[in-house]
Amino acid sequence: MKLSRMTFTKLLALVAIVLCSFASTSRASPLDPERYLLVEAEPRAQLEDYRLNDDVWPTHYDIEIKPYLEAETGKQAFTFDGNTKITVKTEKQGVAQIKLHIARMEITSWSVVRKSDNNVVQTLTEIYDAETEVLTIPLASGVTLQANTEYLLSFTYIGNMDDDMHGFYRSYYLLNGEKVWLGSTQFEQTHARRAFPCFDEPRFKATFQLKINHKTPQYSVYSNTPIVIASPSESGRTLTTFGITPSMSSYLVAFIVAPYEINQREQMGILARPQAQNQTQYSLDEGIKLLKALDDWIDYPYSSVPEMPRMYMAAVPDFSAGAMENWGLLTYREANILYRSDDSTSLQQQRIATVISHEIAHQWFGDLLTCEWWDVTWLNEGFARYCEYFATALVEPSWELEHQFVVEQVQSAMQMDSLITTHPMTHPVYTQAQASAIFDNISYNKGAVVLRMMEHFMTPSTFLTALRAYVKENAYKSVRPAHLFDALNRYNPNARMYMEPWTVQPGYPLVTVTSNDNGFTITQKRFLVNEPTHTDATMWPLPLTYATNANEFSNTTPTFVMTASYNIPMADASNVQYFILNKQQVGYYRVNYDAALWGKISNALHSEDFGGIHVLNRAQLVDDLFNLARGDIVPYGTALDILEYLKHETEYAPWLAAVNGLTTLSRRIHAEDEELFTIHILDIFAKAYDTVKFQAPSPTERRVFTYMRQNVLKWACNYGHEACSKAAVAEFERFYANPSVKVHPDLRQVVYCEGIRKGTQAHFEFLWNQYLTSNMATEQILILQGMGCASTYELISIMMDAIASEHVRSQDKSNAYTYIINNQYTLPHVSRYLQLNHAIWAAGHGSYLSVASAFNNLLARLKSDSERDTISAFIETNKNTLGQAAYDSIKNGLTEYETNKQFTMRNRDEISTFLKKKANGGAGAVFANVSMIVSLLVLVVCRW
């Protein structure tokens, strides 16, 4: 397909005209919480008004939905007729009004009836608050609800199937170039109210019975429970009734109206569009194994819930979240459930398995037991994230997920949690924006990390026994942290005392170790990466473990210390090989050492077998050094000298920690030092490249070795490794000449990227055509990653146009943009594009806030004052077009640019001195020079 800027502009069909019809901006998956830098609106109502009171409680819903996926007589396309009857009651006297939620619907009639005698309850005119989405039904003067009496609220209404992936929304797939429409749901956190009037908070559990009036045979329908009966309702339509659900929260209701097919075995089925059925076998097989593993682990079989005799998992083409745990009908992005070994990478396969594990775990932690309100979201998501790794490990033990957890969860949580803007795991939530924002690395990652920490303290068997008791005792209920603490305390009386502070206090400590002849002194202080001299006196119960030689890393059961300072006596302490705190990084804290101890650690890392230091502690040391240098605790020169050991590292976890640290550092390297930094990168990756080689994985190699190869090849090629680039380009040219023989999936990211970076527009158009014709969501992601490596303004503009068009689905737009700006050389081109085409970008993404987000993400990577000045001038000239919120957001981005620049200038001398010394051949002698490291570190204790 011939592609040019002109044809793309035509394809956009004058999108600037549709600025008045923006849809709301979609959010990234909670399973992948990195988002655009969005502007959060200030609450426009009293905070308590966003919450329902507890006067009236629902017990059962009868819901009937009649969707119109195409226009019919008197009915607009993408609307639906709804009829909902809610059985409610109160235990209070004198209740004179009923409050519940509705949104994006037109109520045509409603009533309140006492069920015992069908008497109509007299009411006054309803009151609706569009900000809080609360509908208030006041009873007539002198009329109140009788306590412990059932009432029936009935609503007839017309709803909208929007395309923003919330509520009951519309999606589509392409068949022979034509759109085939379908309807699906996403109700978490606050969008069930867009499909039916409801008490849309998780604590208001009730049973639900759903009926769907749908066209047949064009569409099939699916919901949480099996179909009870399906009967013709009118010409060409069928009324399908589903079984009554267990008592559950409104956000867990789900239904799909789609021409899907099912691949099923035993009690599980995978739903997908017909063209994707050949991609469902892996998720079916893996899902069955994971469900069995979790059944046994929790000792509360899924099938013991009588209303849930089966589990369906559905692949939805447009899906705002990564996946959703609706009880009995789990929904997923296609890329998170559809798999073929010839078109998906090993890491994508792992992603699918772990996401399935996450969602199945929610059937207990979220569905059976549900967080009482979103302020304790971690009770849902922390457990699911924990199971994402450790339950999958029961089925896939060779993937070393226990090791991956440390870098991907412990260390990633620490990034967000080291900022002053972080929040505790348990944190107040009121508005819809706040409810959405709480689904972040703190609720997910930190929640899982704290659970792992308690598991090691209590021992795995005792921890599991306590969790099983927690599940059984709280089944079908909404829960608060106290319910979990009570269960844990029953099996260890100190559990709550040690765990609760980690859930109610933001951040985490930096633990400093100083040595003397008689032992070691441990002190703690909150770690704030941008504020090393802060005076925050928060203290945590510290889980302490330590090792002084290779034989001491296996026992990870900690001793908790509750004091600000703690002494570890040890005879002849000065003669230990090293002293490493926090074995296998079970505890959630960073560690800094005095000069002598850092010197010993450096010696060990540069010795044979890394001195026997456990691979997870090597990953810990790597991550800590990068972040202690960022936080002005350890000099950059010292950190980089010690990290020279990476030239000999052969394990995935330390390299993943290094890649994360180097990514952040690369964005702060002064522009004039880029060449020196390139020399450094090629040097430390040289041996790793020779180890992994540019080749497809062998059938017998460790899974994490395959992952390590992907990282090493990406960095080597990105920084101009000649052999890497030559091999990647050759493989791309071979694929270009003969597309029927595909590139191995585990090499595609680097091959596509280098092929586009070094290729022509013809190569670009070839790969874009592969994207348009691919039937695999995982392959489309790999292609977007590769096309993000375009290097000319013309090609980058075409790519940006594509992202703004419907060719790239809304759920993928944010990531596709990130793939481009992660390449430093694209930033001036992207800036120019956004300035010239801001209306196209706003129209394609939903609002000018998305233009602000794009600029802010660019500014976070930018190193050019002239480009900064151009952006500053642009927003001043276009302030009225941008709107105040977008303008203010970009102004904040410009301020952040200055902060980043100050960081670069403050650390430049030290970094460039190291880089110059290394480029001149001096690093080989430097990194082993313990006396030099000691001299550089003398300042550390004084600073801290």
Catalytic residues: 359
Q: Is 381 annotated as a binding residue?
A: yes
Question: 809 — phi, psi (to 5°)?
Answer: -65, 155
Tokens at 460, concatenated: 């795995």
Cα 897 from Cα 911, distance rounded (Å):
20
Inter-residue contact 619 to 897 (CB < 8 Å): no
The angle, 0 to 180 degrees and rounded to 10, between the axes of the packed helices 281-298 and 460-474 is: 90
Cα 226 from Cα 184, distance rounded (Å):
17
Inter-residue contact 112 to 121 (CB < 8 Å): yes
Tokens at 314, concatenated: 């559905």
Question: 126 — phi, psi (to 5°)?
Answer: -70, 155
Cα 274 from Cα 176, distance rounded (Å):
13
Question: 53 — phi, psi (to 5°)?
Answer: -80, 175
* DSSP-assigned beta bridge partners for residue 154: 85, 111
Pairing mode, strands 329-333 and 509-516: unpaired
Sequential DSSP letters for 696-722: PPPTTS-HHHHHHHHHHHHHHHHTT-H
Q: Which residue has the tokens 């998780």?
A: 202
Tokens at 671, concatenated: 């522009």
Tokens at 170, concatenated: 């519309």
Q: Which long-range contacts (CB under 8 A, 24 or more apart) does 414-417 make?
A: 414/508, 414/588, 414/590, 414/623, 414/627, 415/441, 415/627, 416/440, 416/441, 416/442, 417/441, 417/442, 417/446, 417/506, 417/507, 417/508
Q: Is 674 annotated as a binding residue?
A: no
Q: In Å, how far from its chain's centre is CA 628? A: 25
C-beta neighbour count of 822 within 10 angstroms: 18
Helix (H, G, I), strand (E, B) or coil at 567: strand
Tell me 95's DSSP state.
B
Sequential DSSP letters for 284-323: HHHHHHHHHHHHHHHTS-GGGSTT-S-EEEEEESS-SSSE
The angle, 0 to 180 degrees and rounded to 10, between the axes of the packed helices 595-605 and 930-943 is: 140
Q: Single out the residue of 726, 725, 642, 723 nearest to residue 684, CA to CA.
A: 642
CA dihedral for 530, 534, 540, 545, sign (positive or negative): positive
Specify the DSSP element, H or E, that contains 425: none
Gyration radius of the chain's alpha carbons: 29
Inter-residue contact 823 to 857 (CB < 8 Å): no
Tokens at 575, concatenated: 């003669």
Helix (H, G, I), strand (E, B) or coil at 151: strand
DSSP H helices in 277-410: 281-298, 346-362, 378-395, 401-405
CA distances (Å), 795 to each of 177, 787, 801, in order? 25, 9, 10
Q: Is 867 annotated as a binding residue?
A: no
* DSSP-assigned beta bridge partners for residue 229: 241
69 contact partners, CB below 8 Å, separation of at least 6: 77, 78, 161, 170, 181, 182, 183, 215, 219, 257
Tokens at 303, concatenated: 């099938």
Cα 88 from Cα 55, distance rounded (Å):
10
CA dihedral for 597, 598, 603, 607, sign (positive or negative): positive
Tokens at 214, concatenated: 């749908």
Tokens at 394, concatenated: 């029961």
Which segments are annotated as binding site? 358, 362, 381
Which segments are annotated as binding site for Zn(2+)? 358, 362, 381
